[in-house]
Amino acid sequence: DIQMTQSPSSLSASVGDRVTITCQASQDIGNYLNWYQQKPGKAPKLLIYDTSNLDTGVPSRFSGGGSGTDFTFTISSLQPEDLATYYCQQYDNFPITFGQGTRLEIK
Amino acid sequence: QVQLQESGPGLVKPSDTLSLTCTVSGYSISSGYYWGWIRQPPGKGLEYIGSVYRSGTTHYNPSLKSRVTISVDTSNNQLSLELSSVTAADTAVYYCARELGVIRAFNIWGPGTMLTVSS
């Protein structure tokens, strides 16, 4: 299985900050990477697919990039409602695997 | 508006078989897409269990394949998950989700159902 490693595991930032999360794959996955947001007590929500494409209705402050083994997820200006855990997910190789998650707290 | 709703017993005993159902509304499973199951142990990350297509074609995570059966009932617009020989390690919130085929992204999720394995 392809291992997905996110960093940091948790972070705390202030409203308006620029926040970046990284996701590293154990082998080359091209751009076959998706990102999800999971708010406390809720199901995950798809934010970004194919590394950099925003799902319908997702605010433009969210963005993604990278290729191969190294990927980034960025929130350009943190909002209070962005309190959540964020997961990357690869689909280059079966089985689909997720990163361990990055918990984002608001200062 | 497509909605998914999981249902299940809430509590099962070790070594039993758990059975969960996901009812889909607002979209006919017969029309297409893969439909998947993902689980999340308390306080932990997400684990892909498997997916099923309208035809009954399935894909299972190899780590669970020997114990998992996923099926689809197009007449009732439902998909089902069975997991045999459960242990405490199978305690988790179980989600069903619609899977976008090419990009294998789960874009619509049910709220999840908590399943506890305990005697």
Averaged pLDDT, A29-40? 97
Q: Report d(CA B15, CA A102) in Å as an integer.
A: 34
Q: Report d(CA B90, CA B76) in Å as an integer.
A: 27
Count of alpha carbons within 13 Å of A50, Cβ hemisphere only?
Answer: 7
Longest CA span, chain A: 38
Q: B61 to chain A: which residues are within 8 Å by CB?
A: 95-96
pLDDT of residue B102: 81
Can you read off the two tokens belonging to residue B101?
């085929």
Q: Report d(CA B17, CA B35) in Å as an integer.
A: 21
- Minimal-distance CA residue of chain A relative to B36: A96
pLDDT tens digit string along B5-43?
Answer: 999 999 999 999 999 999 999 999 999 899 999 999 999
Averaged pLDDT, A94-105? 97
pLDDT band at B101 (very low <50, low <70, confident <90, very high): confident
Count of alpha carbons within 13 Å of B114, Cβ hemisphere only?
Answer: 6
B61 with A44: Cβ contact below 8 A: no
pLDDT tens digit string along A68-81?
Answer: 999 999 999 999 99
pLDDT of residue B103: 82
Residue type, A74: T
| Distance between A55 CA and the closest CA of chain B, angstroms | 8
Q: Is residue B30 helix, strand or coil?
A: helix
Using a CB–CB cutoff of 8 Å, tell me whether A91 touches chain B.
yes
Can you read off the two tokens belonging to residue B53?
């297509």
The rounded radius of gyration (Å) of the Cα atoms in chain B is 13
Q: What percentage of chain A carries pLDDT values higher than 90?
A: 100
